[in-house]
Amino acid sequence: MNITLEMLKQAVNRIAIACEQFQPMLCEADSRLGDGDLGITMQKGWRQIADDSQDWPDDLSKALFQCSKSLQKACASSFGTLQATAFMAMAKYCKENQLQEISSSDISPLLTVAYQSMMARGKGELGQKSVLDILYHLSEALKPLAIDDLKIAALQSIESTLNEFRQKPNLLGRARMFPEKSIGLDDPGMLAIKVIVEAI
């Protein structure tokens, strides 16, 4: 079974609801290490994606590009920009590979182009305790799996990555200015990805 455009529309609506539900948690996590606005960014950005999904073109790459535009419209924050960049890269991948549905074998490459584009835009590196690390580990964990096995493996990968980095300092973003404060705390960007995956 492949992931169709209609399934993606349903998923983004579930994600929008989850981002609204977990807005306080994400803002609180972000307030310990950053501006404290991550929950608002996620809530506004994904609500815009969900609202705009009603008018998506019947083309996967164009729909993903629309997600990027929705995020740019709704979010002025750095994390919103990074997500928009990732959607743009995934749209390009789908166009170049002429994808109209997403198979299990497409998930890892899509996550790879997503985190690589975010890495280039944010000038980050793997291992700095950021959203890049959780997307990288997801891309590796989901390589060999069938669609039906993806969610359990994704959630296991997320928990494993959170546990691996919790006792490490943040070395990217605003939190890098006080790295010792971040030891023992989960990276807010990683938590945002957890909210997304749990909602899918």
Residues 135, 146: Cα–Cα separation, whole Å: 18
Long-range contacts formed by 4-10: CB under 8 A, 24+ apart: 4/101, 5/56, 5/58, 5/60, 5/63, 5/100, 5/101, 8/53, 8/60, 8/63, 8/102, 9/53, 9/54, 9/56
Q: ∠ at Cα 165 (115, 116), nearest 5°? A: 10
Output the six-digit token pair for 76: 């002025």
For the stretch 75-98, pLDDT in tens is 888 899 999 999 999 999 999 999
Q: Please give the pLDDT value at position 176.
A: 64
Q: Does 58 score more than 90 pLDDT? A: yes
For the stretch 152-186, pLDDT in tens is 999 999 999 999 999 998 887 766 667 777 899 99
Q: Does 27 score more than 90 pLDDT? A: yes
Q: Please give the pLDDT value at position 68.
A: 97
Cα–chain center distance at 146: 21
Output the six-digit token pair for 82: 């990074």
Q: Please give the pLDDT value at position 179.
A: 72
Mean pLDDT for all residues in the chain: 92
Of 43, 41, 44, 53, the C-alpha closest to 12 is 53
User: How would CATH label the architecture of 5-199?
Assistant: Alpha Horseshoe (1.25)
Contact present, 31 and 181 (Cβ < 8 Å): no
For the stretch 129-142, pLDDT in tens is 999 999 999 999 99
Q: Residue 118: exposed, middle, or buried by beta-carbon count in 10 A (0-12, 13-18, 19+)? A: buried
DSSP letter, residue 53: G
Q: Give the global pTM.
A: 0.92
Q: Residue ranges per domain, the chain?
A: 5-199
Q: In the predicted model, what is the mean pLDDT of residues 46-66?
A: 96
